Copies of this chain bind each other. A is one copy, B any other.
């Protein structure tokens, strides 16, 4: 994954870097166990704990709730599309936070 990101460093704008980070973060965890193209509960938990500040405070029951909410097709795995729904929700929460701070 990194080789692709490094191949085009001069072409990348901040928004493109944001998109590649979202993709590479998924694959950093999805490849650890089971299917390489999906996040298991354990992989999702590791991603949240390591890559998001909110993860530190999240309890096991919070991980379970999140897993249930994101896993639309109920296969106990989070695929890339389900992961983008999660990021979109976070992105909208960030936006609300910034708008609130700007008041």
Interfacial residues, chain A to chain B (CB-CB below 8 A): 1, 4, 11, 13-27, 37, 50-53, 80-81, 84-85, 87-88, 90-92, 94-95, 98-99, 101-102
Contacts of A88 in B (CB 8 A): 84-85, 87-88
Q: Give the dominant DSSP class at A's interface.
A: helix
- Most chain B beta-carbon contacts within 10 A, residue among A13, A15, A80, A81: A15
Task: Determine if B15 and A25 form an interchain contact, defined as CB atoms under 8 angstroms apart.
Answer: yes
In the bound assembly, the distance between CA atoms of A1 and B52 in angstroms comes to 20
Complex Cα distance, B27 from A53, in Å, reads 23
Contact residues in B for A17 (Cβ distance below 8 Å) = 18, 21
Contact A95 B23 (CB under 8 A): yes
A85: B residues at CB distance < 8 A: 88
Q: Among the interface residues A1, A4, A87, A102, which one has the most CB atoms of the partner chain B within 10 A?
A: A87
